[in-house]
Structure 1
Amino acid sequence: MSNDWRSATGISSHQISQTKGKEGSEIATSLSNDTVIVVSNRQPYRHRYQQNGEGESTITVDRPTGGLTAGLDPVMQRLNGTWIAWGDGGADRDTTDEDGKLSVPPEDPQYTLQRLWLSDSDVNGYYYGYSNRALWPLCHLAMGNTEFDSEQWRQYRAVNRKFADQVLEHTTDDSVIWFQDYHLACAPQLVRSQCSSDQFILHFWHIPWPPVDAFRACPQHQELLEGLLGNDLIGFHVSQYCQNFLECVETLVEHADVDYDSGRICHGGRETVVKAFPMGVDADTIKRQSTNVPESMWQEFKNEFGLASDLRVVLGVDRLDYTKGIPERLQALEHLWAERPEWRGDFTYVQKGSESRSEIPAYQQLQDRVSTIIDRINARFGSDDWQPVIMIGEKLPRDTLCGLYRYSDVALVSPLRDGMNLVAQEYVASQIDDDGVLVLSELAGSHERLGDAVISVNPYDTEAHADAIEQAITMPEAERRHRSRRLRRKVHNNDINAWLHDMFDTVDQLRGNTGS
């Protein structure tokens, strides 16, 4: 969630359908005469085998758990469209027909999930290779981690062709085709080249778009930009990413005319519009879930991890990704405890950190580095009755995670660079008691919307980072409540449904302008 589009709070599609019926219906009404095709690397429903107590296998389904998949699923249910995605679940093949299709949700089928099968070689080259060793670090300006391997690029293009071919099998004259994220940069132009002008193609890029001086380092920059210019509309989280993309096109694509004021690009006889759509979370559902978590559960959590009942908790919830700034955050905490020993024993930092992309060396190194720093801090400052840092790697039940959000005193969300960061918004939506403080990186996309009510931090500035944590811990109650209320209004007024409305209203406007 970027963040890449992975949300920490899980919700079922049925819950959203109940609570978001009106909004979903309005979106569905605007597209009711169209064939809507969503295309993403990640699928909304995933089947896997699970061993029961007697050693027998049963098939279980993982449902939408937040972010785009949870927000768009109820809309797709009303549109009766098609969602095309990589079938990565262990039992996925056994739950589809011979063409890789199945109807979802399982209990009340409303739309088609079209699974696309990838070989191990495809996955290694397209996903673990070019997507996450070239594009991910490039877009996050982690240039030391970039690997521009020509064979991985060929596999990336080949898989994009597989996605495009699958889209073309489902496309009709009135199709609205919506591509998701950096895994599918080539696919829009591949589809466009085989379609008439009647189809509307849009793409949402969930991670940052880098400045031109960084992007031009990519040997395949021309092909990537031309692939994306197959879209009628390209969405980014914030205006700066739009500006960066327009500059890249103007500088690196021949015969492209760029209008910065309107965000319009003319190239190859076609027009592409670029616009910012800041993504939100399902704030109402998160609020309800947090309300249902009793304080007794929080005390049970503290007892399980040996935390005194009156000990304050500072929280971090992240994937173990080198873009999230976890080592820098830990170094700021270490600096605070070293320079201001009066804070030792006053609070514990709880890092909920799920391993991610462990097949990639840069991620293995990050995980090792985080473990080393945590061990050093605990050895340096810990005592018989106080542990400075607690690391939680396992998946937490939904209510436990909501309890962490609600009852922790401070949340540290300090990525080195992030497209949006939905964890920051989820934490805010959980603050029903209005007593939590958010420390937020200036380099996260969500800072553009939330920055005037958070404690802002530059994650690279260790001393200032430590000062920000101290400011959060010592903030007077009245100020905590005032900031929290302002943040909650922002998050609720700009939730996932507002984001979907903005996106599809723009689609309607652009299609009207072209007379389609």
Structure 2
Amino acid sequence: MKATRLTVVSNRLAIIVDKNEDGQWQIRPGSGGLVTALGPVLRDRGGQWIGWLGSNFQEMLDEASLQELLEQGSRETGYSLTPVHLTGEEIEKYYFGFSNEILWPLFHDLASRCNFDPSYWRYYQQVNDKFARVVAENTLEEEDYVWIHDYQLILVAACLEEMGVRRRTGFFLHIPFPPLDGFIRLPWRFQILEALLRYDLVGFQTVRDRRNFMDCVRMLIPDSRVVGHGHVARCLTSKREVLVGTFPISIDYKQFAEFAGTREVQDEAWIIHANLPERQLILGVDRLDYTKGIPLRLMAFANALERYPHLRRKASLVQVVVPSREGVPEYETLKSEIEQLVGKINGRFTEVGWTPIHYIYRSLNRIELMAYYRTCEVALITPLKDGMNLVAKEFCACSIENNGVLILSEFAGAAAQLHHGALMVNPYDIEGVADAIHQACTMEEGERHMRMEKLRRSIQRYDIFRWVNAFLHTAVHQHLDEFPQAEFFVPKPMPAEI
């Protein structure tokens, strides 16, 4: 049966609601890889996005005002926005607790950072059930395909099934899936695995992630087996058959490449170049998180300046850190560590007219970010582990003169696609990363062009629309173009408590 509407479900809605300088409530486009990836896909196709608004707005806005903002957001995004209301305690224990103190570190192979508080699990179940009820009330069995995203909402399909609600559902995990010896540390490993097997299709970023999942199923689920090879296989259990596939996420290559060539971006890039003249710029752009490997990256840059002194005055690192989970002690400690390292390195190597590291702790607007992509000759992307890392792909798409060099961690999901053109590094190997920085800064123009052309061709071919089409074709034997273009659906008014 064909689906006529695509409903995306994620922890956060695709918009941000806050106050402007005049104290009036406003909406802004959301940030992050998921919004960047799926915004172009849902736009003007009658699509729907279900998620949490990011704060307890029902206590700050009356129902009519909130509904007006959501309708405005629907018009501007081109798809319906349906909110899920969460209480303060649910936010604390479902989001900051189970999702980000248990699943996030565990799935990134950092089990020592986990806090296995039993109360977190109860709230994770409660919130997933709440999301499932909103899905049930705002979708139809005959029309909707419900595509649920990421580790915060693993239980939604199981909750729907327990309510007796039939929907065609798919799940995509944006972060890595851990190997068996890491996953079995989770006290609720059986419940999580069983919940994933309630979806019709489960998608992962890389072959490695899918293999880890299948290993866990084989070892922990009795009488289960896997049939088939290629990017999609069938997982058979005593209860059902589930498709399990590999679908590496990507970006809207054409949009990034075209916007990078606009006059606004060129003017901003010229300002950056004029303020940092006669040197190669190395760019790091990361959300504040311990998985991104920022302290090790700074140490590697310092090591490069120490061991390759001719790089001094000839290269500078621009490190952009986007604030994340402010107020969480662990993240505040990480921020302090980064700032102390920046101060120490700059204090040691700075000379008149040259500062080694330019540190930016804030979000960049779209024009600023594109301008840094255009201006910087080297991108230093060195996460300790990452589901994909779209920054690497964005940098390449915006290198429209083919003069950029990508240094990429072998533990980023993007490495599987980009390793042929990037300089691959182990982020824990400080001297190895320093050597790659030196190699990138001294690379001949011809090799730069050859490598970047190869990277850009690959990203152009495997863009965001190919990712969506691959998932939807596997899920419902449809491509994106088969979802009709239509007016947006206005969401139903949300009750005070669900």
TM over 0.5: yes
Q: Distance in 2 between matches of 1:168 and 1:267?
A: 26
Instruction: Pick the aligned partner of 1:493 from 457, 461, 472.
Output: 461
Contact 2:148 2:172 in 1 (8 A): yes
Map of 2:485 onto structure 1: none
Structure 1 position 329, deviation (Å): 0.9
2:271 paired with 1:271: no
Alignment deviations for residues 378-414 of structure 1 (CA, whole Å, 9 cap, x no partner)? 1111123211111001222321211100111111001
Structure 1 position 166, deviation (Å): 1.3
Map of 2:18 onto structure 1: 48
Map of 1:394 onto structure 2: 362
Map of 2:345 onto structure 1: 377
Instruction: Pick the aligned partner of 1:237 from 196, 200, 205.
Output: 205
Q: Distance in 1 between matches of 2:256 and 2:43?
A: 21
Q: Distance in 1 between matches of 2:41 and 2:244?
A: 23
Cα distance 1:173–1:135, how it changes in 2: closer, same or farther (>3 A)? same
Q: Distance in 2 between matches of 1:245 and 1:191?
A: 22
Map of 1:206 onto structure 2: 174
Q: Distance in 2 between matches of 1:104 and 1:160?
A: 27
Cα distance 1:221–1:289, how it changes in 2: closer, same or farther (>3 A)? same
Instruction: Pick the aligned partner of 1:411 from 379, 400, 412.
Output: 379
Alignment deviations for residues 99-137 of structure 1 (CA, whole Å, 9 cap, x no partner)? 969446444685431111111111110111110110000
Map of 1:298 onto structure 2: 269
Structure 1 position 298, deviation (Å): 2.7
Map of 2:4 onto structure 1: 34
Contact 1:208 1:418 in 2 (8 A): yes
Instruction: Pick the aligned partner of 1:116 from 56, 81, 84.
Output: 84
178-187 or 337-346: bigger deviation: 337-346
362-371 or 201-210: bigger deviation: 362-371
Q: Distance in 2 between matches of 1:196 and 1:269?
A: 17
Unaligned residue ranges in structure 2 (runs of 5+):
480-498
Instruction: Pick the aligned partner of 1:193 from 136, 145, 162.
Output: 162
| Matched position secondary structure for 1:383 | coil
Q: Distance in 2 between matches of 1:424 and 1:71?
A: 14
Instruction: Pick the aligned partner of 2:422 from 451, 454, 461.
Output: 454
Map of 1:60 onto structure 2: 26
Instruction: Pick the aligned partner of 1:156 from 107, 124, 144.
Output: 124
Instruction: Pick the aligned partner of 1:326 from 260, 281, 294.
Output: 294
Q: Distance in 1 between matches of 2:219 and 2:362?
A: 46
Q: Distance in 2 between matches of 1:486 and 1:114?
A: 41
Q: Could you tell me which amino acid in structure 2 is paired with residue 311 of structure 1?
A: R
Q: Distance in 1 between matches of 2:77 and 2:375?
A: 38
Q: Percent of aligned positions with the same letter in both sequences? A: 34
Map of 1:437 onto structure 2: 405
Map of 1:88 onto structure 2: 54
Contact 2:296 2:427 in 1 (8 A): yes
Contact 1:134 1:146 in 2 (8 A): yes
| Matched position secondary structure for 2:385 | coil
CA RMSD between the two structures: 2.4
Q: Distance in 1 between matches of 2:239 and 2:439?
A: 55
| Matched position secondary structure for 1:323 | helix
Instruction: Pick the aligned partner of 2:444 from 473, 476, 482.
Output: 476
Q: Distance in 1 between matches of 2:66 and 2:362?
A: 35
Contact 1:48 1:91 in 2 (8 A): no
Contact 2:203 2:245 in 1 (8 A): yes
TM-score relative to the length of structure 2 = 0.89
Q: Could you tell me which amino acid in structure 2 is paired with residue 279 of structure 1?
A: I
| Matched position secondary structure for 2:195 | helix
Q: Distance in 2 between matches of 1:77 and 1:466?
A: 43
260-269 or 480-489: bigger deviation: 260-269
Q: Distance in 2 between matches of 1:315 and 1:475?
A: 16
- For these two proteins, the number of residue pairs brought into alignment is 473
Alignment deviations for residues 201-245 of structure 1 (CA, whole Å, 9 cap, x no partner)? 100000000000000001111111111111000001111100100
Contact 2:236 2:242 in 1 (8 A): yes
Structure 1 position 347, deviation (Å): 0.8
Map of 2:392 onto structure 1: 424
Map of 1:167 onto structure 2: 135
Q: Could you tell me which amino acid in structure 1 is paired with residue 105 of structure 2?
A: P
2:152 paired with 1:183: yes
Map of 1:354 onto structure 2: 322
| Matched position secondary structure for 1:114 | strand
TM-score relative to the length of structure 1 = 0.86
Structure 1 position 341, deviation (Å): 1.7
38-47 or 322-331: bigger deviation: 38-47
